[in-house]
Structure 1
Amino acid sequence: MVPWDDDIDILLNVSDKQRLRDSVLGSKEYTLLEFKENLWKYFKTNRSEFLENNRNYMWPFIDIFFYNDAGHTLSVLWNSNPPLTHNKNDVFPLSFMPFDIFVVPVPKKPEIFLKVEYGDINLCVSNIWSHQHEKQLKNVEKIPCSNLYSIYPFVHRTNNNKTIREELRIKNETYMVIERIV
């Protein structure tokens, strides 16, 4: 998750599809839409806005993507041919990391996961897609993430081969620290 993104993405095992369906079955407040085969959307139900936007879902929403567990690797089943693959040991067991005022589950080695997904993780890229308006954005910008340290919170990581220390900072002020054993 990045602070300037306008949705939340979750990656689930494809074998958990039915369990997810069952968990939200009968909810009047939220809707789970099987938007495409391996992309679902979860959002607060408000039928009047569906009609206004001429869509069968509404923003804000959570995008739910799926992966296939192929033994030692995980294949993300969306928008890539061939599928993006991750070493299972880079993802599991999940770790926890500061995000805003929360501590959220993340891949075991988030920096490796992000490099596979996005490339250079020290380069910040503006959104290329508006989820609110469901359209591609013009003027995509790329800048060193360090240029944004005084504006957005970032996790700063230090590794001494025994522990990884993660600090959530804006400017030079630390808001949260998590230390985990490697």
Structure 2
Amino acid sequence: MAIRQMVCRYSLHILVLIVIYTCFSLYYKSIPHIEEQFQSSITEEEQKLLMETARAFIRALDSANIPYIIYSGTLLGSYRHHDLIPWDDDFDILINGSFKNAVKRFVAKYDDSFALYVPDFQDFAWKYYRKDMALKTLPNLPFGWPYVDIFFFKENETHIWDDISHVSKEFTFRKDKVFPLHQRPFSSMQLSAPCNPLHMLNMYNIQSCKSRTMSHKHEVVLPRNYYRVVPCQVLTDFYPFVHHTKTEDGWKETLKVGDIVLYSIDVKEYC
């Protein structure tokens, strides 16, 4: 009899655990959550280090009077989030190729805490990074993370284009849609950006959020089956997104998380 009671009691406990697990699973599935690919890939401390590196590079450029343009994912982050794309892990800058020697001479020596990596071949971005992070993060590579990805452009009378050969055709832009440069918000900074940001973002679908194809933190290409594309709308309850409204003389950019308005700013009419 005692054994039978123990078996019944044990079976009841198992049944209760199954019910609890089932209820928890159903509850979890009913809660909106972010796919792994769209979760932040870096810690808060790592993000601070990335932004510190970006600020140091901008200060170095400004000290040498070298103009720059926020570029690629960083420009998209400014347009769509007024900050880093939440799941991004690097900072992209575009500079006129005529300033390469100036970047080598002045920027590399501006702050001894940072270093400039100049590759031996053209088709690779330069890197600006903290010296003390090199051996900690990417010990088998000649640079460290977090870093600023530095791209250069070539030009003619009407257009500029990325000087990395395999992307130059896609990343070609009209000068009258880039210059004069305007200031755009990025985190706590105001950074130089094209006067028509959408022109330099024409290869992106602004309403579609794409996961990373590369981990800069580990300097590896991510597997194709990891790649995801979702409507940005499904992420607006989790991350701040900029909502753009046309005004008489420009645009109103309102940063919101879900229905909560964080702030609004007015920006100039696009060129």
Q: Same fold (TM over 0.5)?
A: yes
Q: Which amino acid aligns with 2:105?
A: D
Could you tell me how far apart the structure 2 residues matched to 1:99 and 1:80 are?
25
- Residue 57 of structure 1 is matched in structure 2 by 143
Q: Which amino acid aligns with 2:214?
A: W
Determine whether 1:128 maps to 2:216: no
Q: What pairs up with 1:72-151 in 2 under 5 angstroms?
A: 72-78=158-164, 79-80=166-167, 82=169, 84-116=171-203, 118=204, 120-138=205-223, 139-151=226-238
Could you tell me how far apart the structure 2 residues matched to 1:175 and 1:103 are?
18
1:130-182 Cα offsets, whole Å, 9 max, x none, are 00111111310000111111222222211135221112222222333221332
Q: Is the 8 A contact 1:98 1:155 kept in 2?
A: no
Deviates more, 1:143-152 or 1:162-171: 162-171
Sort the Cα spacing of 1:85 and 1:122 in 2 relative to 1 into closer, same or farther, 3 A: same
Q: How many residues align?
A: 180
Q: Which amino acid aligns with 2:102?
A: R
Determine whether 1:34 maps to 2:118: yes
Q: Is the 8 A contact 2:134 2:144 kept in 1?
A: no
1:89-142 Cα offsets, whole Å, 9 max, x none, are 2211222233333333222111221123x3x12111000000011111131000
Pick the structure with more strand per residue: 1
Deviates more, 1:139-148 or 1:71-80: 71-80
Could you tell me how far apart the structure 2 residues matched to 1:47 and 1:169 are?
34
Deviates more, 1:3-12 or 1:74-83: 74-83
RMSD between aligned residues: 2.2
Question: Structure 2 stretches of 5 or more lacking a match?
Answer: 1-73, 75-84
Pick the structure with more helix per residue: 2
Could you tell me how far apart the structure 2 residues matched to 1:51 and 1:176 are?
36
Could you tell me how far apart the structure 1 residues matched to 2:245 and 2:134 are?
49
Deviates more, 1:10-19 or 1:154-163: 154-163
Structure 1 ranges of 4+ moved more than 4 A: none
Q: TM-score, normalised by structure 1?
A: 0.87
Question: Structure 1 stretches of 5 or more lacking a match?
Answer: none
- Residue 20 of structure 1 is matched in structure 2 by 103
Sort the Cα spacing of 1:81 and 1:99 in 2 relative to 1 into closer, same or farther, 3 A: closer
What is the SS of the residue equivalent to 2:201?
A: helix
Sort the Cα spacing of 1:19 and 1:52 in 2 relative to 1 into closer, same or farther, 3 A: closer
Determine whether 1:46 maps to 2:132: yes
Q: TM-score, normalised by structure 2?
A: 0.61
Q: Which amino acid aligns with 2:98?
A: S
Q: Which amino acid aligns with 2:267?
A: R
Q: Which amino acid aligns with 2:239?
A: Y
Could you tell me how far apart the structure 1 residues matched to 2:134 and 2:208 are?
40
Could you tell me how far apart the structure 2 residues matched to 1:157 and 1:91 are?
19
- Residue 167 of structure 1 is matched in structure 2 by 254
> Rg larger in 1 or in 2?
2
